[in-house]
A and B are shown apart, each in its own frame.
Chain A
Amino acid sequence: MKITINRREYNFNERELTVKEILDRMNFTFPMIVVKVNDILVKKEDYKKSVISENDKVEVIHLISGG
């Protein structure tokens, strides 16, 4: 499948992956992230359930302390 992650295109051999699998493969290990799939928020408790497939748009927003 072909998907975009943070506005870049990526190809995976699988037809589907969960958000958790995508985060692991991309090495997004930061604890403070917000994930949106096709502009909809996916909460941490749903990372293992939420499925990503062809043409999905994934955004991983990393939050850093300071203000």
Chain B
Amino acid sequence: MKELLKDKRVGIAGAGGLGSNCAVALARCGVGRLVVADFDVVSKPNLDRQHYYLDQVGMKKVEALRENILRIDPEIEVTARAVKINAQNTVEVFKDCQVIVEAFDEAVMKKMLIETVLAEMPEKWLVAASGLAGTGSNNQIKTRRFGRLFLCGDGHSEVSSKLPPLAPRVGIVACMQANQVLRILLALRQKKSVQEVGN
């Protein structure tokens, strides 16, 4: 598997609960190049679901994530971009990636990234997430496909004071996103057509 994936480059927009866990899963599988973008720093409450450690509190998330990935596999090329992703810089940050993972927290950011990629980078594959808060059934979480856009989640569980994002379901969706990325990369390697890439 690692041989098949070492020359691939995957972009991850957001290094919180989804992005940090998805990046680590991809790194463990051997995806050779990761571009991670997030402007935020690690805070203590983040440790309830994000792939960071207490001694990393205060570090930029992308730097902490780079450090953690390199501890798993020092051969992986991690490009850490400590920027806030917006409609103007999305293309520049992710232009060399075969697949982009939408891993933001806020719906408004999810919408911005999806619309920007669909409009300005229509050749890219995009794996997004929507609906993962609380402790709802595992079995409601699925992957839906819309052309080159895949959407993982239950589609309805929104974060609120009564429904926090928790490590298990956030991790499930992050790993579903990682698995979908692998399915896309391996299908492309086998020269499958766009329609043949399954969700």
Contact = CB atoms under 8 A, between A and B. Distances in A.
| Interface-centre pick from B105, B110, B129, B170 (highest chain A CB count, 10 A) | B110
A20 interface: no
B77 interface: no
A67 B111 contact: no
A28 B196 CA distance: 31
Given A39-B147, A41-B119, A63 B111 contact: yes
Interface stretch (B10-18, B61-69, B184-192): B10-18
Nearest to B170: A67
Interface in B108-139: 108, 110-111, 114-115, 118-119, 128-133
B91 to A, nearest CB: 15
A32 B107 contact: yes
B151 interface: yes
Interface size class of A (residues with CB under 8 A): 10 to 19
Given A41-B119, A59-B146, A62-B130, A67 B103 contact: yes
A30 B19 CA distance: 25
Contacts of A66: 105, 129-133, 157-159, 165, 170
A65 B115 contact: no
Nearest to A32: B107
Interface of A: 32-34, 36, 39, 41, 43, 59, 61-67
Task: Give 8 nearest A-B pairs by CB, closest first.
Answer: A32-B107, A66-B159, A41-B118, A67-B105, A67-B18, A63-B107, A39-B147, A63-B110
